[in-house]
Structures are given as structure tokens and as C-alpha cells.
Copies of this chain bind each other. A is one copy, B any other.
Amino acid sequence: MSNSDAHKDKMKALQTEQRKKTSEATDPDRGLVLIHTGNGKGKSSSAFGVIARALGWSKKVGVVQFIKGKWITGERQFFAKFEDQLHWHTMGEGFTWDTQDKERDIAAAQAAFNRAIEMMKSGDYDLVVLDEINIAMRYEYLNVEQVLEGLKSRSDKTSVILTGRDAKQELCDYADLVTEMREVKHPFQSGIKAQRGIDF
């Protein structure tokens, strides 16, 4: 048997296996809950990538940003063009070390979460992104029980992505999918300034 025939046979077997996997997969008939956590990059940006996908399929998307403040980011400038399909709320006050006011941080997080609940319950959105909400729980601006309850009250059609490091175990238990973005150590990595168009 020639090399290319052997390759073909191997790939045919793989194709059968893949087709079986696909045909056995079930459609959940409800929106999924996805968590992006870990100490590496890509937690928020992959949520933004999923937003691009969703918009490409004419879906409706809501975003609530829990920590990020009013500074200008590439993503916000870009996605601002799609306000009929995408509602974007940046409701954080900035980094907790800049506000220096825990009460204010808590109030901002709770207000943001109220907005998130409205969006999740409304049935108006195919996808809701709760950006950096894990940080708000880590700092105890929100508690995990209220977030879990909020997720459970979502419309069946609504998928939710929660981002931020240190995701709570109870949320991971509930989620359909958890991805950890892990920073692989690298000598050049530290000490490079955040790059416009890459990091924000």
C-alpha cells in the first residue's frame, strides 16, 4: 500500500470517528454558560471574538463590563458601530486601586449586576457577556450566590460568558464549559508595555 493510500485509510477512519462524535452530540436547546478564567491573556478578547461570531449570525448581544472604567479601548470604539445589535455597558469605575473607595466599588458592581440580570432575563439577547465579573466576586463586590441565581433566571435562549481570573468553584460547577487561560512563562513577557490594538 502506498503512503498516500495509507494516509487516506487513516483519514477515512478518523472521518468516521468525527462523524460519529458529531452525530451523537446533542443540542442543548438552551443558552450555554461559559467561563473564561486563569491568569493568562485572552479571557476578555475571546469573549469579544465570540461577539463578532454572534453578530455575524445576526444575533443580539449584551455586554456589561464590571471593572473596566471609561478609558478608551479598541473594542469599545469598534463595537460601538453595531448599536442596533449590540448593547454595551461599561459600568465599572476603574481599577480598585484607583477608586480607593470600597463602598463606591460595591455600588458600581451591584448596579452593573442589576443591568446584567435585566439583560439575561429579558429574552432579548442571544448572548450576554459579563466582562470581569469574576473579579467583582473575588473582591466580594458581588457574592457568588446572587450571580448563580441570576444565571439560573436567564432566558432559555440566552448564552452567558463570564470572564476574569479566580472564577468561583460554584460557578465552574454550574457552567457548561470552563476554559483556563494559562500564562506560559517567558523571559520577554514581563515588562512589555500594554499595546494599543493588542491589549486594549
Contact = CB atoms under 8 A, between A and B. Distances in A.
Given A46-B46, A172-B186, 20 more contacts: A4-B101, A4-B102, A12-B100, A15-B100, A45-B45, A45-B46, A45-B50, A49-B49, A50-B197, A53-B75, A53-B198, A56-B75, A56-B76, A56-B78, A57-B74, A57-B77, A127-B197, A172-B184, A176-B186, A176-B188
Interface in A172-200: 172, 175-184, 186, 188-189, 191-200
A53 B57 contact: no
Contact of A48 (B3, B48, B184, B188): B48
A39 to B, nearest CB: 10
Contacts of A195: 32, 159
- 5 nearest A-B residue pairs (beta carbon): A45-B49, A56-B78, A53-B74, A56-B74, A48-B49
Contacts of A77: 56-57
